[in-house]
Structure 1
């Protein structure tokens, strides 16, 4: 059982209805365009951490991957299970930094995605999380991360996390930087508010 509020999820359950509708409008090829040329072309095992309502996970599954979607917010997970009826997509109730349920499986992944999640973790949580993520990657596998920059929505727990800090932390865990780039938000509301994203790709 999770506590009522998992650190980093503040403000999400309370605004789930509005956010579910917004997430449904995202065009995922556009969202992942900054890193799409590095996505694996061969089918593999993918872990999407902080999957929200599963749009990213379902899109990755449509490319032929077997995807495990990790989401601690029950409202998002339930909406995703209804909206994303895909045979090669599994949902798991788990969260960073520990990822205890996923870790207990002792599975390893070809690709791990941590999109729009990392900036919700405090510094000590990010340190623990990176180590746990690294152990879940197969040799030669990739980690894709996106970091939000700009004004934080009211009621959310958001930290200003530099891409350089994230890259340094990843390298401490034997991950090599393949790409670091910037992109505007694909959501018009966020773009108008001045939100942009750092995209980082690492290889183990």
Structure 2
């Protein structure tokens, strides 16, 4: 999404940065993992297709993506590639109203899992979507086998709305109401949103 092409969101343990061309090679290596393909319901792409996808996410006004960096590792190395641990996305299934956004999260690096990085990154993305994209409802679609993500989203207030045995996934929803916004703001207190020039 063009609106976030220079946006950096800094949290306590993670940093969200726009998905740029120089991130593609590492992302492509991640997505060769059969485990990640299964958990994210993704098909492997060629490197050329991955570059095309990156350009699509940058320019498509109905898709928003951030690469997730481990904050401590980035502060130590100042190297985005070394600090990359995953990504988080929003996309609007119905471009005409852009009220409901589907959210996705992936922590690709095994060493970064189990440290609440996905939790924090997702809350930062929700906060960004509410403040800058006027999202009124979030939905997530999660593989039956992804117990960790199912539990995470339920703990965030999401409720099951449907199950698909064909696609082996559960669809969950959360309406953005006043109480939830207060909780999101409290949970992301101290984060910084900066728009770099260039």
**Normalising by the residue count of structure 2, what TM-score does the alignment of the two structures yield?**
0.36
Richer in strand (by share): 2
